[in-house]
Amino acid sequence: MAHPKRKISKSRRDKRRTHHKITNKPMIADPVSGELTVYHRVNVDTGMYRGVKVMKGKNEE
């Protein structure tokens, strides 16, 4: 296996890791309930996706 010839300094290592950061996911307001949900995801509580009922909600049976 290949091994590094020299130790990589902390600053060089950290420069490489500058792009490994957490970004905020885009959120939109649900047209029916008005609560914020993650974009392109079905609202589990209501079963709605972009104003259309696509599945049973968590509260429904």
Query: Is residue 5 a part of any domain in this protein?
Result: no
Query: Is residue 16 a part of any domain in this protein?
Result: no
Query: Is residue 30 a part of any domain in this protein?
Result: yes
Query: Is residue 32 a part of any domain in this protein?
Result: yes
Query: Is residue 1 a part of any domain in this protein?
Result: no
Query: Is residue 8 a part of any domain in this protein?
Result: no
Top-confidence residue, 2 or 61: 2
pTM: 0.49
Give 16-61 pLDDT, tens digit per residue: 998 888 888 888 887 777 888 888 888 888 888 888 888 888 877 6
Query: Is residue 14 a part of any domain in this protein?
Result: no
Which letter does DSSP use for residue 18 in this model?
G
14 — pLDDT class (breaks 50, 70, 90): very high
Containing domain of residue 32, as a range?
25-61
Which neighbouring-strand residues pair with 43?
Answer: 48
Query: Is residue 53 a part of any domain in this protein?
Result: yes
Spatial contact of 26 and 39, defined as CB atoms under 8 Å apart: yes
Number of domains forming the structure of the chain: 1
Question: Which pLDDT does position 30 carry in this prediction?
Answer: 78
